[in-house]
Amino acid sequence: MVNNAYLALVIGGILQSLLSPIEGNFSPKFKKPYKSKKDMSAAIEPILKENLNRFVIFPIKHHDLWDWYKKCEASFWTAEEIDLHTDLNDWNNKLNSDERYFIKHILAFFAASDGIVNENLAENFVSEVQYAEAKFFYGFQIMMENIHSETYSLLIDTYVKDEKEKDLLFNAIENFPAIKKKADWALKWIESPSFAERLIAFAAVEGIFFSGAFCSIFWLKKRGLMPGLTFSNELISRDEGMHCDYAVHLHNKHLINKVPKARITEILVNALNIEREFITESLPVSLIGMNSKLMTQYLEFVTDRLLVELECDKVYNSTNPFDFMDMISLQGKTNFFEKRVAEYQKAGVMNKDKDDDSQKISFDADF
């Protein structure tokens, strides 16, 4: 005769296994949903807290973030608008081999970097932020980064005719250690559990990592070379400056637990050191006739400016050694983005709420 206690134990075990959820490892034990470290910050940051109203944009609740989105929208452009028909003549007849080498590798870095920026946006920021206005901005930024990436790929495809070399450039992270080092730094931050620190790190990517390369291409513009390349550089540098400034605004105005100033300084100085090595040693600007010492000074100036915008103290107290960059003012307070490159701005997008007679159609005016 079977022991009643033993029988009850067997039946209980069978029932438990039948009632337990079926999982990949067929474990009879119920597992709680995995909650990543990134989810923890939502408990203290309003912008990250679940928002059931995030699916509808009106009524606007965060007008400052909406203004940033509209500003970004007004700056829309496409790769097809870049005229490259005179660039090939400059490429073949006016640039030397060192200059061509430099430009090819700068474009390869940019093409890879925009993909990394987009990965962070798509995998992290868009899903993390719960303010609808912030989601709108990041959604538009993803589209613009796609256009940047397409443009850089188009430039490489236009200038480089050898298919093997072209393939090396399109796969720059795997083929060029100097580019891989910068990419690894950015990729490391994608995995950071801190939304605030990731915000600062990617402001450094767009505000510091890109600044030396942007500056070097503007140097070519000063020499009257490569008009298609340099015009695309104007448009992209303006966009990236806007993205960097937006990150600063989000950190300063919308985060309760801001990154400590010492940590901000550490992140930005680390980014500067990597960029300085890249643009003065690994891919030296001396290849195109620029002074590496002055480029280092310029990078320090850019880093100081970003530190100040993030309400930190300057580290270097360096001045801008390049007058042509002072006029362009990529990230500065000189209305560069309001002026628009070559007067290029979608008509009326930023003027919708302004009572400006110049924007109205009149059928009674004298012509």
Q: Taking residues 279-295, report their average pLDDT.
A: 88
pLDDT tens by residue, 39-95: 455 558 898 998 887 788 889 899 999 999 999 999 999 999 999 989 999 999 999
- What's the pLDDT score for residue 127? 86
Q: Give the least confident one: 24-33, 143-152, 193-202, 343-352.
A: 24-33
Instruction: Count the Cβ atoms, other than its own, within 10 Å of residue 6.
Output: 9
Domain boundaries, the chain: 61-344
- What's the pLDDT score for residue 336? 38
CA distance 247 to 267: 14
Contact 246, 138 (CB under 8 A): no
Closest CA relative to residue 165, chosen from 110, 111, 108, 115 = 108
Contact 218, 328 (CB under 8 A): yes
Widest Cα–Cα separation across the chain: 111
- What's the pLDDT score for residue 345? 54
User: How is residue 147 written in tokens?
Assistant: 């256009």
N-to-C CA span, the chain? 111
CA distance 225 to 285: 16
What distances in angstroms separate CA 170 from CA 51, 106, 174, 275, 321, one per listed residue?
Answer: 40, 12, 10, 21, 33
Mean pLDDT score of the chain, rounded to an integer? 81
pLDDT over 80 (residue 96): yes
**Could you please report the per-residue DSSP string of 116-139?**
HHHHHIIIIIHHH---HHHHHHHH
363 contacts: CB under 8 Å, gap ≥ 6: none
Stated length of the chain = 367
pLDDT tens by residue, 191-222: 888 999 999 999 999 999 999 999 999 988 88
User: Which amino acid makes up residue 227?
Assistant: P
For the chain, percent of residues with pLDDT exceeding 70: 77
Contact 139, 221 (CB under 8 A): no
- What's the pLDDT score for residue 313? 98
User: How is residue 296 written in tokens?
Assistant: 């280092």
pLDDT over 50 (residue 287): yes
Contact 215, 295 (CB under 8 A): yes
CATH class (in words) of the domain with range 61-344: mainly alpha
DSSP, collapsed to helix, strand or coil, labels residue 95 as coil
Active site amino acids? 152
Q: Is the dihedral angle over the CA atoms 203, 206, 211, 215 positive or is it negative?
A: negative
- What's the pLDDT score for residue 57? 85
Q: Is the dihedral angle over the CA atoms 322, 325, 326, 331 positive or is it negative?
A: negative
148 contacts: CB under 8 Å, gap ≥ 6: 110, 114, 236, 239, 240
User: How is residue 249 written in tokens?
Assistant: 């605004």
